[in-house]
Chains A and B, each alone.
Chain A
Amino acid sequence: MNNEEIAELVHELVKNPKGLLPLENKALEELKTKELTLINRVFSGCETSGDILAIDTLPLGFWI
């Protein structure tokens, strides 16, 4: 998947509350498993934290 395709997928997922439905329609086997896992991880992380704006949870403001 290229950057644009990932963007489209993320956009679809955000718009679709059922989450994984668009992925099923997109011929899952074409997606790299790693990318899919990462996208799912980010989406479930955002759901769990409940605060999507809490971006400071992204590490690495400083590399120590």
Chain B
Amino acid sequence: MNFHIEQAVLAGINKILAQEQLSSEMKSMIEASLNADCETGERFKWAHLTLMCCECVGGEFETGLPGAIAMELAALAADIFDDIQDQDNDELPWRQIPTENALNLAICLSMLGYHALVVLSEDKDKNFLEKIGPILSKMWITASDGQYQEILFDTREQISLDQYFELVKRKSGSLTACACKIGATLGGASESLVLQLEQFGTSLGIMSQIRNDLHDFLHFEKKNDFIKNKKTLPYVYLLNVLKGTTAEKFKELTKGLKEFGDEEQNYLRQLAVDEGAIHYCRVMYEMFREKSWENIRTLPVPEKQKEKMIRLVEPNV
């Protein structure tokens, strides 16, 4: 990320934290959590996406910044809630503290997201919270409903592909859509432009989820999604297309009755290849990429303004 953007986001967050007079322990944990993505170079990626959308519709950086910071804090909170739910990503700072406090941390961050709108924009636009607050709230409502459904899905034997995509749209698409909508709204875009960017965000979130699903499904050594019956895309695909004895063998594996050792892992990996689970994930990924590319390509804004957005989703060939 651009150094200037990173510094501006950090300064904004520090201003909010200073004003809130949080305990030193909570403050340290927030800072550690914000830095968790440093090594992967993904620090402040949500703020960046928000600012890209703002810039895309011709908005100024300074106008988009409070919304970008609000989004960054909200997305971090959502990540923490998700990891608590999944009992996942044990190496991250919020997974190394008691769950009760990880919950407190996530609640604090989600509220700081709203507070960012007030603290960072008080002199510029008094309607700021009124404009952006409902977008954030809508995201929280949709995403938490998606998370709720996900838990229910994990206990079901059969899930259709339509159900999977509806869930992912709510659970993951709502976050990216929110970032894009905040950016476009703060950038002063018309209602139709905001909608177009929101749709772009939804597709981007679904693409991201497909990629994660495929990765996690195949990396048994790092993730235990399969054993936990998590309805990832390769899993749901196999549930729906397999027939006869292969289907029976797959279902037997999902019931966790047998040990899930090397032999079973290799079998499942080979099954994903031979039965087209990986091909299907790639096809669906491409379909959403194409959709989002079309969204950006047809945005009625100068080409120069949407260059960065196009680069995100343009075809590889």
Contacts A14-B274, A55-B214 given; indicate if A62 touches B42 (C-beta within 8 A). Answer: yes
Report if B316 contacts A (CB, 8 A). yes
The answer, among A4, A14, A42, A63, for a CB contact under 8 Å with B240, is A4
Majority DSSP secondary structure for residues of B touching A: helix
Asked if B161 and A60 make an inter-chain contact with CB atoms under 8 angstroms apart, the answer reads no
A62→B161 contact, CB < 8 A: no
Residue in contact with A46 in the complex, picked from B42, B164, B282, B312, CB distance below 8 Å: B282
Q: A53-B218, A60-B207, A63-B48 are in contact. Are A6 and B283 (CB under 8 A)?
A: yes
Q: Is the CB of B283 within 8 A of A10?
A: yes
User: Are B286's CB and A42's CB within 8 A?
Assistant: yes
B279 proximal to A (CB < 8 A): yes
Interface residues of B in 131-152 (CB under 8 A from A): none
Further contacts, 10 of them, CB under 8 A, given A7-B241, A55-B211, A56-B215: A3-B162, A14-B275, A52-B273, A55-B214, A55-B218, A55-B282, A58-B285, A60-B207, A60-B289, A63-B312
Give residues in B with beta carbon < 8 Å to A: 1, 40-42, 45, 48-49, 160-162, 164-165, 204, 207-208, 210-211, 214-215, 218, 237, 240-241, 269, 273-276, 278-287, 289-290, 312-313, 316-317
Interface residues of A (CB under 8 A from B): 2-4, 6-8, 10-11, 13-15, 34-35, 38-39, 41-43, 45-46, 52-53, 55-56, 58-64
